Copies of this chain bind each other. A is one copy, B any other.
Amino acid sequence: MSVIAMKFGGTSVGDAEKIRAAARRAVNAHKKGHQVVVVVSAMGKSTDQLVALAEQITPNPPKREMDQLLATGEQVTISLMAMALEEMGVEAISFTAGQIGIVTDDVHTKARIKRIDVRRIRDALENGRVVIAAGFQGVTESGAITTLGRGGSNVTLVALAAALNAEVCENYTDVDGIYTADPRLVPTARKLDRISYDEMLELSSLGASVLHNRAVEFAKKYNVPIHVRSSLNNRKGTMIVAETEDMERIVVSGAALKDRLARITLREVPDRPGVAAKVFHTMATNRIVVDDIIQTTDESGRATVSFTVEPGDLPEARAVVDKLRDDMGCKALYEDHLAKVSVVGVGMRVHTGVAERMFEALAAAGINIENITTSEIKLSCLIDRDQGAKAMQLVHDAFDLGEGGRKTRVPKSAKAGRKKKSSPKAGRAKAAKKSPKRKSKSKKK
Protein backbone atom coordinates (compact mmCIF):
# COMPACT_ATOMS: atom_id res chain seq x y z
CA MET A 1 0.00 0.00 0.00
CA SER A 2 1.39 3.40 -0.93
CA VAL A 3 2.35 5.90 1.73
CA ILE A 4 1.38 9.55 1.40
CA ALA A 5 3.19 12.04 3.62
CA MET A 6 1.58 15.43 3.99
CA LYS A 7 2.56 18.43 6.02
CA PHE A 8 0.53 21.39 7.21
CA GLY A 9 2.33 24.55 8.21
CA GLY A 10 1.36 26.86 11.06
CA THR A 11 -1.12 28.98 9.12
CA SER A 12 -2.77 25.82 7.74
CA VAL A 13 -3.52 24.60 11.29
CA GLY A 14 -4.10 28.05 12.81
CA ASP A 15 -7.47 27.29 14.38
CA ALA A 16 -9.97 24.47 14.94
CA GLU A 17 -11.64 24.99 11.56
CA LYS A 18 -8.34 24.85 9.71
CA ILE A 19 -7.31 21.74 11.65
CA ARG A 20 -10.56 20.12 10.58
CA ALA A 21 -9.93 21.12 6.96
CA ALA A 22 -6.46 19.60 7.11
CA ALA A 23 -7.87 16.47 8.75
CA ARG A 24 -10.35 16.12 5.89
CA ARG A 25 -7.48 15.97 3.41
CA ALA A 26 -5.92 13.18 5.41
CA VAL A 27 -9.27 11.38 5.65
CA ASN A 28 -9.75 11.63 1.89
CA ALA A 29 -6.34 10.17 1.20
CA HIS A 30 -6.99 7.44 3.76
CA LYS A 31 -10.32 6.56 2.16
CA LYS A 32 -8.63 6.26 -1.20
CA GLY A 33 -6.65 3.42 0.30
CA HIS A 34 -3.37 5.16 1.07
CA GLN A 35 -1.39 4.90 4.25
CA VAL A 36 -1.26 8.48 5.48
CA VAL A 37 1.33 10.25 7.60
CA VAL A 38 0.57 13.84 8.56
CA VAL A 39 3.29 16.17 9.80
CA VAL A 40 2.15 19.35 11.51
CA SER A 41 3.69 22.57 12.72
CA ALA A 42 2.66 24.58 15.76
CA MET A 43 -0.63 26.43 15.40
CA GLY A 44 -0.44 29.90 13.87
CA LYS A 45 1.53 32.23 16.09
CA SER A 46 1.88 29.84 19.00
CA THR A 47 5.64 29.45 18.58
CA ASP A 48 5.97 33.23 18.70
CA GLN A 49 3.90 33.25 21.87
CA LEU A 50 6.16 30.64 23.48
CA VAL A 51 9.23 32.64 22.50
CA ALA A 52 7.63 35.74 24.04
CA LEU A 53 6.99 33.80 27.25
CA ALA A 54 10.64 32.77 27.41
CA GLU A 55 11.72 36.36 26.78
CA GLN A 56 9.70 37.43 29.80
CA ILE A 57 11.87 35.11 31.86
CA THR A 58 15.30 35.71 30.37
CA PRO A 59 16.94 37.33 27.34
CA ASN A 60 19.26 34.32 27.04
CA PRO A 61 17.30 31.13 27.54
CA PRO A 62 19.40 27.94 27.66
CA LYS A 63 18.91 26.26 24.31
CA ARG A 64 17.99 22.90 25.78
CA GLU A 65 15.15 24.50 27.71
CA MET A 66 14.09 26.57 24.71
CA ASP A 67 13.67 23.35 22.75
CA GLN A 68 11.77 21.74 25.63
CA LEU A 69 9.46 24.77 25.52
CA LEU A 70 8.99 25.15 21.77
CA ALA A 71 8.32 21.45 21.19
CA THR A 72 5.02 21.86 23.04
CA GLY A 73 3.67 23.86 20.09
CA GLU A 74 3.69 20.90 17.73
CA GLN A 75 2.55 18.55 20.48
CA VAL A 76 -0.63 20.59 20.85
CA THR A 77 -1.31 20.39 17.12
CA ILE A 78 -0.71 16.64 16.76
CA SER A 79 -3.16 15.80 19.53
CA LEU A 80 -5.83 18.14 18.16
CA MET A 81 -5.30 16.78 14.64
CA ALA A 82 -5.66 13.20 15.88
CA MET A 83 -8.86 14.21 17.69
CA ALA A 84 -10.21 15.79 14.51
CA LEU A 85 -9.58 12.60 12.54
CA GLU A 86 -11.16 10.41 15.21
CA GLU A 87 -14.17 12.75 15.21
CA MET A 88 -14.44 12.07 11.46
CA GLY A 89 -14.48 8.35 12.15
CA VAL A 90 -10.92 7.57 11.11
CA GLU A 91 -8.57 6.03 13.64
CA ALA A 92 -5.55 8.20 14.21
CA ILE A 93 -2.61 8.32 16.58
CA SER A 94 -0.30 11.20 17.33
CA PHE A 95 3.41 10.90 18.00
CA THR A 96 5.96 13.35 19.31
CA ALA A 97 9.44 13.06 17.84
CA GLY A 98 10.49 11.26 21.00
CA GLN A 99 7.70 8.73 20.65
CA ILE A 100 8.67 7.75 17.13
CA GLY A 101 12.39 8.11 17.65
CA ILE A 102 13.39 10.93 15.32
CA VAL A 103 16.90 10.87 16.73
CA THR A 104 19.05 13.95 16.21
CA ASP A 105 22.44 15.20 17.30
CA ASP A 106 22.41 17.33 20.44
CA VAL A 107 22.85 20.74 18.80
CA HIS A 108 19.84 22.35 20.41
CA THR A 109 17.68 24.76 18.36
CA LYS A 110 19.22 23.53 15.09
CA ALA A 111 19.63 19.81 15.46
CA ARG A 112 20.23 17.47 12.53
CA ILE A 113 18.37 14.21 12.13
CA LYS A 114 20.61 11.17 12.54
CA ARG A 115 18.05 8.43 12.05
CA ILE A 116 14.37 7.63 12.26
CA ASP A 117 13.04 4.38 13.61
CA VAL A 118 9.86 3.96 11.58
CA ARG A 119 8.71 0.72 13.22
CA ARG A 120 6.11 2.38 15.40
CA ILE A 121 4.77 4.39 12.47
CA ARG A 122 4.69 1.28 10.28
CA ASP A 123 2.80 -0.63 12.97
CA ALA A 124 0.21 2.11 13.30
CA LEU A 125 -0.17 2.39 9.51
CA GLU A 126 -0.52 -1.37 9.15
CA ASN A 127 -3.30 -1.22 11.76
CA GLY A 128 -5.19 1.20 9.53
CA ARG A 129 -4.42 4.29 11.50
CA VAL A 130 -3.51 7.71 10.20
CA VAL A 131 -0.25 8.76 11.86
CA ILE A 132 0.12 12.35 13.03
CA ALA A 133 3.74 13.31 13.64
CA ALA A 134 5.10 16.42 15.30
CA GLY A 135 7.23 18.43 12.90
CA PHE A 136 10.22 20.56 13.82
CA GLN A 137 11.35 18.40 16.73
CA GLY A 138 13.67 15.55 17.50
CA VAL A 139 15.15 13.75 20.45
CA THR A 140 18.76 13.09 21.37
CA GLU A 141 20.16 9.68 22.22
CA SER A 142 19.76 10.58 25.88
CA GLY A 143 16.15 11.68 25.53
CA ALA A 144 16.46 15.46 25.46
CA ILE A 145 14.08 17.23 23.09
CA THR A 146 15.69 19.12 20.23
CA THR A 147 14.30 21.33 17.50
CA LEU A 148 15.42 21.36 13.90
CA GLY A 149 15.66 25.09 13.35
CA ARG A 150 13.86 27.28 10.86
CA GLY A 151 11.86 25.28 8.35
CA GLY A 152 12.25 22.26 10.59
CA SER A 153 8.77 20.87 9.99
CA ASN A 154 9.58 20.55 6.31
CA VAL A 155 12.73 18.66 7.24
CA THR A 156 10.57 16.28 9.30
CA LEU A 157 8.21 15.85 6.36
CA VAL A 158 10.96 15.03 3.91
CA ALA A 159 12.83 12.80 6.36
CA LEU A 160 9.70 10.78 7.16
CA ALA A 161 8.76 10.57 3.49
CA ALA A 162 12.25 9.29 2.70
CA ALA A 163 12.28 6.82 5.61
CA LEU A 164 8.84 5.49 4.69
CA ASN A 165 9.57 5.51 0.97
CA ALA A 166 6.47 7.63 0.48
CA GLU A 167 4.93 7.86 -2.96
CA VAL A 168 3.96 11.50 -2.51
CA CYS A 169 5.20 14.19 -0.18
CA GLU A 170 2.74 17.05 -0.01
CA ASN A 171 3.65 20.34 1.60
CA TYR A 172 0.45 22.24 2.32
CA THR A 173 1.06 25.88 2.97
CA ASP A 174 -0.51 29.31 2.58
CA VAL A 175 0.78 29.94 -0.93
CA ASP A 176 -0.16 28.22 -4.16
CA GLY A 177 3.36 27.06 -4.92
CA ILE A 178 6.72 28.41 -5.95
CA TYR A 179 6.56 31.54 -8.08
CA THR A 180 8.87 33.02 -10.68
CA ALA A 181 9.21 35.94 -8.25
CA ASP A 182 7.60 37.16 -5.06
CA PRO A 183 4.07 38.12 -6.22
CA ARG A 184 4.01 40.98 -3.72
CA LEU A 185 6.93 42.53 -5.62
CA VAL A 186 6.13 41.40 -9.12
CA PRO A 187 2.38 41.30 -9.82
CA THR A 188 2.93 39.31 -13.02
CA ALA A 189 4.81 36.55 -11.21
CA ARG A 190 3.67 33.11 -12.28
CA LYS A 191 3.47 29.86 -10.36
CA LEU A 192 5.92 27.24 -11.57
CA ASP A 193 4.70 23.72 -12.26
CA ARG A 194 8.04 22.29 -11.29
CA ILE A 195 11.47 23.35 -10.24
CA SER A 196 14.69 21.48 -9.57
CA TYR A 197 16.15 21.02 -6.11
CA ASP A 198 19.16 23.14 -7.06
CA GLU A 199 17.07 25.99 -8.40
CA MET A 200 14.95 25.86 -5.26
CA LEU A 201 18.08 25.95 -3.12
CA GLU A 202 19.31 29.05 -4.92
CA LEU A 203 15.93 30.76 -4.70
CA SER A 204 15.63 29.97 -0.99
CA SER A 205 19.02 31.39 -0.18
CA LEU A 206 18.16 34.43 -2.30
CA GLY A 207 15.16 35.25 -0.18
CA ALA A 208 12.25 33.04 -1.30
CA SER A 209 10.94 31.77 1.99
CA VAL A 210 8.54 28.97 1.09
CA LEU A 211 10.88 26.08 1.81
CA HIS A 212 13.97 26.26 3.90
CA ASN A 213 17.20 25.03 2.34
CA ARG A 214 17.71 22.21 4.79
CA ALA A 215 14.46 20.54 3.78
CA VAL A 216 15.34 20.90 0.10
CA GLU A 217 18.85 19.54 0.66
CA PHE A 218 17.33 16.59 2.46
CA ALA A 219 14.85 16.02 -0.36
CA LYS A 220 17.64 16.21 -2.93
CA LYS A 221 19.81 13.80 -0.97
CA TYR A 222 17.04 11.17 -0.77
CA ASN A 223 15.40 12.16 -4.06
CA VAL A 224 12.02 12.85 -2.47
CA PRO A 225 9.77 14.94 -4.75
CA ILE A 226 7.96 17.65 -2.77
CA HIS A 227 4.63 19.02 -3.87
CA VAL A 228 4.28 22.57 -2.52
CA ARG A 229 0.61 23.49 -2.61
CA SER A 230 -2.10 25.54 -0.94
CA SER A 231 -4.16 24.21 1.95
CA LEU A 232 -6.99 26.49 0.80
CA ASN A 233 -7.76 24.88 -2.54
CA ASN A 234 -7.28 21.66 -4.49
CA ARG A 235 -5.16 23.03 -7.31
CA LYS A 236 -1.81 21.57 -8.16
CA GLY A 237 1.09 23.50 -6.74
CA THR A 238 4.76 23.24 -7.65
CA MET A 239 6.69 19.98 -7.75
CA ILE A 240 10.24 20.25 -6.49
CA VAL A 241 12.04 17.42 -8.21
CA ALA A 242 15.38 16.08 -9.33
CA GLU A 243 16.76 17.85 -12.34
CA THR A 244 16.02 16.34 -15.72
CA GLU A 245 17.77 17.12 -18.99
CA ASP A 246 14.53 18.62 -20.18
CA MET A 247 14.79 21.34 -17.54
CA GLU A 248 17.86 22.78 -19.18
CA ARG A 249 15.69 24.10 -21.96
CA ILE A 250 14.54 26.74 -19.50
CA VAL A 251 17.30 29.30 -19.10
CA VAL A 252 15.80 31.20 -16.17
CA SER A 253 13.20 29.73 -13.83
CA GLY A 254 12.79 32.51 -11.36
CA ALA A 255 14.04 35.77 -9.94
CA ALA A 256 14.61 36.79 -6.35
CA LEU A 257 15.40 39.91 -4.40
CA LYS A 258 17.30 40.33 -1.17
CA ASP A 259 16.15 43.82 -0.42
CA ARG A 260 18.39 44.76 2.47
CA LEU A 261 22.13 44.26 2.25
CA ALA A 262 25.20 46.13 3.45
CA ARG A 263 28.60 45.96 1.77
CA ILE A 264 32.03 46.18 3.28
CA THR A 265 34.99 46.85 1.01
CA LEU A 266 38.63 46.60 2.05
CA ARG A 267 40.97 48.37 -0.37
CA GLU A 268 44.72 48.22 -0.72
CA VAL A 269 44.88 44.96 1.16
CA PRO A 270 48.35 43.38 1.06
CA ASP A 271 47.98 40.53 -1.40
CA ARG A 272 49.62 37.88 0.75
CA PRO A 273 48.43 34.30 1.23
CA GLY A 274 46.13 34.07 4.20
CA VAL A 275 44.90 37.64 4.24
CA ALA A 276 41.39 36.79 2.97
CA ALA A 277 41.31 33.82 5.32
CA LYS A 278 42.09 36.16 8.20
CA VAL A 279 39.28 38.53 7.26
CA PHE A 280 36.63 35.85 7.07
CA HIS A 281 37.92 33.88 10.03
CA THR A 282 37.51 37.07 12.07
CA MET A 283 33.97 37.49 10.74
CA ALA A 284 33.10 33.89 11.61
CA THR A 285 34.47 34.05 15.14
CA ASN A 286 32.34 37.17 15.62
CA ARG A 287 29.35 35.25 14.23
CA ILE A 288 28.78 37.67 11.40
CA VAL A 289 27.18 35.89 8.46
CA VAL A 290 28.86 36.89 5.22
CA ASP A 291 26.89 36.74 1.98
CA ASP A 292 28.75 37.13 -1.33
CA ILE A 293 32.50 37.72 -1.47
CA ILE A 294 34.45 39.32 -4.31
CA GLN A 295 38.20 39.73 -4.40
CA THR A 296 40.18 41.48 -7.11
CA THR A 297 43.84 42.37 -7.36
CA ASP A 298 45.23 45.51 -8.95
CA GLU A 299 48.51 45.93 -10.84
CA SER A 300 50.39 47.02 -7.74
CA GLY A 301 49.74 43.64 -6.16
CA ARG A 302 47.27 44.93 -3.62
CA ALA A 303 43.80 43.46 -3.36
CA THR A 304 40.26 44.73 -2.97
CA VAL A 305 38.09 42.44 -0.86
CA SER A 306 34.38 43.15 -0.89
CA PHE A 307 31.60 41.28 0.85
CA THR A 308 27.99 41.74 1.87
CA VAL A 309 26.37 41.31 5.26
CA GLU A 310 22.93 41.82 6.79
CA PRO A 311 22.50 45.56 7.57
CA GLY A 312 21.74 44.60 11.18
CA ASP A 313 25.21 43.07 11.46
CA LEU A 314 26.96 46.12 9.98
CA PRO A 315 27.76 47.99 13.23
CA GLU A 316 29.35 44.90 14.73
CA ALA A 317 31.12 44.02 11.48
CA ARG A 318 32.37 47.56 11.22
CA ALA A 319 34.03 47.42 14.63
CA VAL A 320 35.75 44.20 13.64
CA VAL A 321 36.79 45.45 10.21
CA ASP A 322 38.08 48.77 11.53
CA LYS A 323 40.51 46.86 13.67
CA LEU A 324 41.53 44.63 10.75
CA ARG A 325 42.02 47.71 8.62
CA ASP A 326 44.36 49.25 11.19
CA ASP A 327 46.26 45.97 11.61
CA MET A 328 46.72 45.53 7.87
CA GLY A 329 47.19 49.15 6.98
CA CYS A 330 44.46 49.21 4.33
CA LYS A 331 41.30 51.22 3.69
CA ALA A 332 37.73 50.26 4.53
CA LEU A 333 34.47 51.40 2.95
CA TYR A 334 30.99 50.74 4.37
CA GLU A 335 27.69 50.95 2.50
CA ASP A 336 24.35 49.90 3.90
CA HIS A 337 21.85 50.84 1.23
CA LEU A 338 22.06 47.96 -1.20
CA ALA A 339 19.88 45.17 -2.54
CA LYS A 340 20.58 42.10 -4.63
CA VAL A 341 18.53 40.98 -7.60
CA SER A 342 19.15 37.50 -8.94
CA VAL A 343 17.98 35.10 -11.62
CA VAL A 344 18.14 31.33 -11.24
CA GLY A 345 17.89 28.52 -13.74
CA VAL A 346 19.61 25.23 -14.47
CA GLY A 347 19.54 26.22 -18.13
CA MET A 348 22.33 28.69 -17.44
CA ARG A 349 24.71 25.78 -17.34
CA VAL A 350 24.32 25.31 -21.06
CA HIS A 351 23.03 28.62 -22.35
CA THR A 352 24.81 31.91 -22.85
CA GLY A 353 23.44 35.42 -23.00
CA VAL A 354 21.81 35.49 -19.58
CA ALA A 355 24.22 38.05 -18.12
CA GLU A 356 23.98 40.21 -21.19
CA ARG A 357 20.20 40.31 -21.12
CA MET A 358 20.08 41.06 -17.41
CA PHE A 359 22.65 43.86 -17.61
CA GLU A 360 20.91 45.39 -20.58
CA ALA A 361 17.57 45.43 -18.81
CA LEU A 362 19.05 47.15 -15.76
CA ALA A 363 21.14 49.57 -17.80
CA ALA A 364 18.18 50.62 -19.93
CA ALA A 365 16.45 51.76 -16.74
CA GLY A 366 19.53 53.56 -15.50
CA ILE A 367 20.15 51.13 -12.66
CA ASN A 368 23.81 50.94 -11.77
CA ILE A 369 25.27 47.49 -11.02
CA GLU A 370 27.57 47.64 -8.01
CA ASN A 371 28.77 44.07 -8.02
CA ILE A 372 28.15 40.90 -9.96
CA THR A 373 28.32 37.39 -8.50
CA THR A 374 27.49 34.13 -10.18
CA SER A 375 27.12 30.45 -9.53
CA GLU A 376 26.57 27.71 -12.05
CA ILE A 377 22.82 28.31 -12.06
CA LYS A 378 22.54 31.84 -10.66
CA LEU A 379 23.40 35.41 -11.60
CA SER A 380 23.20 38.17 -8.99
CA CYS A 381 23.60 41.95 -9.28
CA LEU A 382 24.11 44.24 -6.32
CA ILE A 383 22.19 47.49 -6.83
CA ASP A 384 20.89 50.46 -4.86
CA ARG A 385 18.18 49.42 -2.45
CA ASP A 386 15.68 52.01 -3.68
CA GLN A 387 15.78 50.40 -7.11
CA GLY A 388 15.28 46.81 -5.86
CA ALA A 389 11.59 46.41 -6.61
CA LYS A 390 11.89 48.10 -9.99
CA ALA A 391 14.86 45.94 -10.90
CA MET A 392 12.94 42.77 -10.03
CA GLN A 393 10.11 43.73 -12.35
CA LEU A 394 12.55 44.64 -15.14
CA VAL A 395 14.47 41.37 -14.87
CA HIS A 396 11.28 39.37 -14.60
CA ASP A 397 10.05 40.99 -17.80
CA ALA A 398 13.39 40.66 -19.53
CA PHE A 399 13.32 36.91 -19.10
CA ASP A 400 9.66 36.72 -19.94
CA LEU A 401 8.89 34.96 -16.64
CA GLY A 402 5.51 36.46 -15.97
CA GLU A 403 1.97 35.35 -16.18
CA GLY A 404 0.80 35.74 -19.70
CA GLY A 405 4.40 35.03 -20.62
CA ARG A 406 6.35 31.92 -19.77
CA LYS A 407 9.79 30.96 -18.73
CA THR A 408 12.44 31.66 -21.30
CA ARG A 409 12.71 28.50 -23.31
CA VAL A 410 15.08 27.35 -25.96
CA PRO A 411 14.87 24.37 -28.27
CA LYS A 412 16.53 21.37 -26.75
CA SER A 413 19.30 21.45 -29.32
CA ALA A 414 20.01 25.17 -29.26
CA LYS A 415 22.51 26.72 -26.88
CA ALA A 416 21.04 30.20 -26.85
CA GLY A 417 18.02 32.11 -28.04
CA ARG A 418 14.33 31.74 -27.32
CA LYS A 419 11.42 29.90 -28.70
CA LYS A 420 7.76 30.24 -27.95
CA LYS A 421 6.02 27.27 -26.42
CA SER A 422 4.03 25.35 -29.04
CA SER A 423 0.70 26.37 -27.61
CA PRO A 424 1.15 29.64 -25.78
CA LYS A 425 -2.55 30.33 -25.66
CA ALA A 426 -3.38 27.10 -23.89
CA GLY A 427 -0.44 27.58 -21.58
CA ARG A 428 -1.59 31.04 -20.71
CA ALA A 429 -5.14 29.97 -19.99
CA LYS A 430 -3.87 27.19 -17.75
CA ALA A 431 -1.57 29.47 -15.84
CA ALA A 432 -4.32 32.00 -15.30
CA LYS A 433 -6.65 29.32 -14.05
CA LYS A 434 -4.11 28.08 -11.56
CA SER A 435 -3.57 31.44 -9.93
CA PRO A 436 -6.99 32.92 -9.39
CA LYS A 437 -5.78 35.32 -6.75
CA ARG A 438 -4.02 37.56 -9.16
CA LYS A 439 -5.78 38.99 -12.15
CA SER A 440 -3.93 38.67 -15.42
CA LYS A 441 -4.26 42.33 -16.08
CA SER A 442 -0.75 43.37 -16.92
CA LYS A 443 0.30 41.26 -19.86
CA LYS A 444 3.30 43.35 -20.60
CA LYS A 445 4.38 41.46 -23.62
Say if the beta carbon of A301 comes within 8 Å of chain B. Answer: no
Q: Mark A37-63, 1 if CB is under 8 A from B, else 0.
A: 000000000000010011011101110
Say if the beta carbon of A389 comes within 8 Å of chain B. Answer: no
Q: Mark A78-101, 1 if CB is under 8 A from B, else 0.
A: 111011101100000110101100
Say if the beta carbon of A144 comes within 8 Å of chain B. Answer: yes
Taking each of A61, A83, A84, which has the highest tally of chain B beta carbons within 10 Å of its own beta carbon? A83
Look across to chain B and name the residue whose beta carbon is closest to the beta carbon of A101. B143
Say if the beta carbon of A393 comes within 8 Å of chain B. Answer: no
Given contact pairs A62-B86, A98-B98, A54 touches B80 in the complex (Cβ within 8 A): yes
Say if the beta carbon of A20 comes within 8 Å of chain B. Answer: yes
CB pair B57 A20 closer than 8 Å: yes
CA distance A65 to B78 in the complex (A): 8
Shortest distance between the CB of A145 and any CB in chain B (Å): 8
Interface size on A, residues (CB 8 A): 38
CA distance A71 to B74 in the complex (A): 12
Which of B65, B82, B94, B96 touches A83 (beta carbons < 8 Å)? B65
CB pair A75 B71 closer than 8 Å: yes
* Residues on B with beta carbons closer than 8 Å to the beta carbon of A145: 96
* Residues on B with beta carbons closer than 8 Å to the beta carbon of A83: 54, 57-58, 61-62, 65-66, 69
CA distance A393 to B96 in the complex (A): 52
Interface of chain A, helix or strand or loop or mixed?
A: helix
CB pair A76 B72 closer than 8 Å: yes
* Residues on B with beta carbons closer than 8 Å to the beta carbon of A58: 83-84, 86-87
* Residues on B with beta carbons closer than 8 Å to the beta carbon of A71: 75
CB pair A64 B80 closer than 8 Å: no
Shortest distance between the CB of A232 and any CB in chain B (Å): 20
CB pair A82 B53 closer than 8 Å: no
* Residues on B with beta carbons closer than 8 Å to the beta carbon of A84: 57-58
* Residues on B with beta carbons closer than 8 Å to the beta carbon of A87: 57-58, 60
A50-B76, A62-B86 provided; 19 other pairs, C-beta below 8 A?
A16-B53, A16-B56, A53-B80, A57-B84, A58-B86, A58-B87, A62-B83, A64-B93, A65-B79, A65-B94, A66-B83, A68-B78, A68-B82, A68-B94, A68-B96, A69-B76, A69-B80, A71-B75, A96-B145
